[in-house]
Amino acid sequence: MIVADLLKKHLFPDFQILAGSGGLSREISAVSVLEAPDADHWMRGGEFLVGSGFVFRDDPEQLTPLISRMNAKGIAAVGFKLDRFHHRLPESMTAEADALQLPILEVPMHYRWTDIIDVIHTHLVQERNRDRPDDLSAFWEESLDFRKLMSGFAQNLQRDLLVQAPQLDLNNLFLSEGSILGGEAVQKCLDLPVVQETALPKRGQVHSCVEVRNSGQIQRFAAYRLRLDTPISIFVVLSPGELSPSARQERMVLRALTMLRASALEIAIVSSKKVMKKERFLEGLCFGLYCDPAMIRINLRELAIPLSLPASVLIASTADGLSTPRWTSPSGLSYRLGNTWVTLIPSSDIENLKDSLQQEGSALGFHFSFGSPAGDLMEISRSYQEARRTFSLLRDFSLPPGVYFYEELSLFGLLQSMSKLAEARDVWERFWEPLEKDPSQARRSLPLKELASMLVARDFNAKSCAGGLHLHYNTVRNYLREIETLLKVDLNNPHHRLGITLACHINGSIARERSSLS
């Protein structure tokens, strides 16, 4: 493995070369973390070192002599994570690295050292075991060799294959005896005139047919084309006498197409480096990864991000949490995290957006969770944590779609905390347990506990409850009298109403705990 391999699409395509590009052919034999000012004492040669420069934060110029000493020990390259403690490396260091042809790479903020170490270690182990042809473990690793895989596929089929997948840099003819030919061989085959074309049954988005081409002698190709955002074509060169592919051949080609498309989509996701860097920066800002507001301002300027303060973090999610909302942030300062969108909204825009977001949330089933405004750059992570807390409370209390602000949901946070107190059990037993154990509920069309829940939700308004439950008003009034008798309460008494309201929320917490345990 050489340094240039790190920059391949299936390893670390977003690493950037800062200096020492003349040394990309240096061989990597190990990977370690740069954590001491005398790290050169512990080098044996061939290491790819990664670090953030923490120990040099007060005197970055000391990196220059360290680079010279480590180069003397024969290290392969150095990877630095910028914007943690250094926005740029000293010019003397990069000049020295260029002179020594020692590669220095920029490692994006979102990488964990363990991720880098694991990928490189796996690649090195695979290289050592590459003489084991029956080892399929490489298939599941990020360092997937598509040419080797497709060559094995051609040998397994005992047919020559033409494969074109631009996003995977595949344009090859794979011969059944194991040889791999380049684009000229592919073009030579495809330049042969098609004299007949017979359609095969369509398989989803895959268009397939048998093409008869004449090169002085008739050749048949089973052609499979996927014409989507990741165009892929596979041609199986049929043997003389074969008029169409077998069911086994077709099944295997479809599997190969599926695998190639998944890999092409993965590469497409990270292909836009500028967009990705902007999203990673916003993510790091929300996660509180930046220690210095000056570095945040430099990144805002270099990435052309128009952030106005004060601003609040907004998390958009579907109410059921099962999918990502199809929604576009009005500010454009957003990134996707799991099944949510995280975005920064200037405080001056929130009041104007509130009504439209409320309508959109109610119509499409979205939750919009706001943190409180951040007055300066270092407070954005606090606003994000508040938005996450709001998001969690919406789920815990199963609140309807709409717009919610952290400060407005503090009562729900208090209720959630109260449910963990010993006295909460007493409140539940006094004002809710009789509803759960009501022996006469089988004779009613509606259990009294469901009416009590609706009563709390509708602010103890009987007519509103009747409408929400689709029951006659008089029926609801009769059921309310039964609740008063069963609980021994007066629904006009504010203290009794408070007790039922608290018991209802405590019951919800108990139900959620039981559900999580089951």
What is the secondary structure of 241-255 as a DSSP string?
A: T--S--HHHHHHHHH
Give the model's confidence band at 381: pLDDT under 50 very low, under 70 low, under 90 confident, else very high. very high
> Among 294, 296, 235, 229, which residue's Cα sits nearest to residue 266?
229
Res 210: pLDDT: 92
pLDDT, one tens digit per residue, over 172-203 is 999 999 999 988 888 888 888 888 888 888 77
pLDDT over 90 (residue 14):
no
Q: Which of 52-61, 393-402, 444-453 has the lowest mean pLDDT?
A: 393-402
> In this structure, are strands 311-318 and 334-337 parallel, antiparallel, or unpaired?
unpaired
Strand partners, 344: 313
Distance, C-alpha 387 to centroid of its chain? 18
Contact 11, 3 (CB under 8 A): no
Domain boundaries, the chain: 3-125, 145-269, 273-414, 419-517
Cα gap 81→363, rounded to integer Å: 44
Contact 173, 185 (CB under 8 A): yes
Res 378: pLDDT: 93
> Among 442, 401, 400, 436, which residue's Cα sits nearest to residue 510?
436
Res 445: pLDDT: 76
Question: Does 137 or 434 have the greater pLDDT score?
Answer: 434
Instruction: Output the CA–CA distances (angstroms, integers) from residue 3 to 11, 25, 26, 120, 124, in the order listed.
Output: 11, 6, 6, 11, 12
pLDDT, one tens digit per residue, over 142-180 is 556 788 889 999 998 899 999 998 878 888 999 999 999
Query: 351-364 burial by CB neighbour count: b if 16+ within 10 A, else e?
Result: eebeeebbebbeee
Cα gap 417→393, rounded to integer Å: 11
Percent share of the chain, pLDDT over 70: 93
Res 112: pLDDT: 85
The single residue listed with the structure tokens 């964990």 is 112
Cα gap 482→366, rounded to integer Å: 37
The single residue listed with the structure tokens 């895959």 is 206
Contact 226, 233 (CB under 8 A): yes
Token digits for 1? 């493995």
Q: Which of 131-140, 160-169, 293-302, 459-468 has the lowest mean pLDDT?
A: 131-140
Give the model's confidence band at 352: pLDDT under 50 very low, under 70 low, under 90 confident, else very high. confident
Token digits for 44? 């044996």
What average pLDDT score do residues 294-301 get? 90
Cα gap 286→280, rounded to integer Å: 10
Reported as type and span, the H/E element at residue 31 is strand 30-33
Give the model's confidence band at 39: pLDDT under 50 very low, under 70 low, under 90 confident, else very high. confident
Cis peptide, bond prior to residue 310, ω within 30 of zero: yes
CATH assignment of 3-125, given 3.40.1390.20, 2.60.120.280, 3.60.15.10, 1.10.1740.10? Answer: 3.40.1390.20
Amino acid identity of residue 13, one-letter, is: P
> Among 143, 55, 53, which residue's Cα sits nearest to residue 107?
53
Res 264: pLDDT: 81
> 3-state SS of the chain: helix, strand, coil percent to 5?
50, 20, 35
Cα gap 15→3, rounded to integer Å: 11
Res 268: pLDDT: 66
> Among 56, 118, 125, which residue's Cα sits nearest to residue 93?
56
pLDDT over 80 (residue 26):
yes
Mean pLDDT of the chain: 86
What average pLDDT score do residues 418-427 get? 83
Contact 51, 80 (CB under 8 A): yes
Report the helix count and the strand count for the chain, using DSSP H and E.
17, 17
Strand partners, 31: 48
pLDDT over 60 (residue 278):
yes
Determine how many CB atoms are found less than 10 A away from the CB of residue 103: 29
Write the secondary structure of 464-513 as one string of H (helix), E (strand) and C (coil): HHHHHHCCCHHHHHHHHHHHHHHHCCCCCCHHHHHHHHHHHHHHHHHHHH
Cα gap 186→164, rounded to integer Å: 9
Measured in degrees and rounded to the nearest 5, phi and psi for residue 191 equal -80, -15
3-state secondary structure of 221: strand
What average pLDDT score do residues 390-418 get? 80
Cα gap 216→407, rounded to integer Å: 80
CATH placement of domain 419-517: 1.10.10.2840
pLDDT, one tens digit per residue, over 448-492 is 998 998 998 888 999 988 888 888 999 999 999 999 999 999 999
Longest dimension (CA), the chain: 99
pLDDT over 80 (residue 274):
no
Specify burial of residue 295 (Cβ count, 10 A radius: 0-12, 13-18, 19+): middle
pLDDT, one tens digit per residue, over 310-330 is 999 999 998 877 777 888 888
Question: Does 283 or 510 have the greater pLDDT score?
Answer: 283
3-state secondary structure of 345: strand
Cα gap 248→246, rounded to integer Å: 5
Distance, C-alpha 470 to centroid of its chain? 43
Res 272: pLDDT: 59
| pTM (two decimals) | 0.49
Res 516: pLDDT: 55
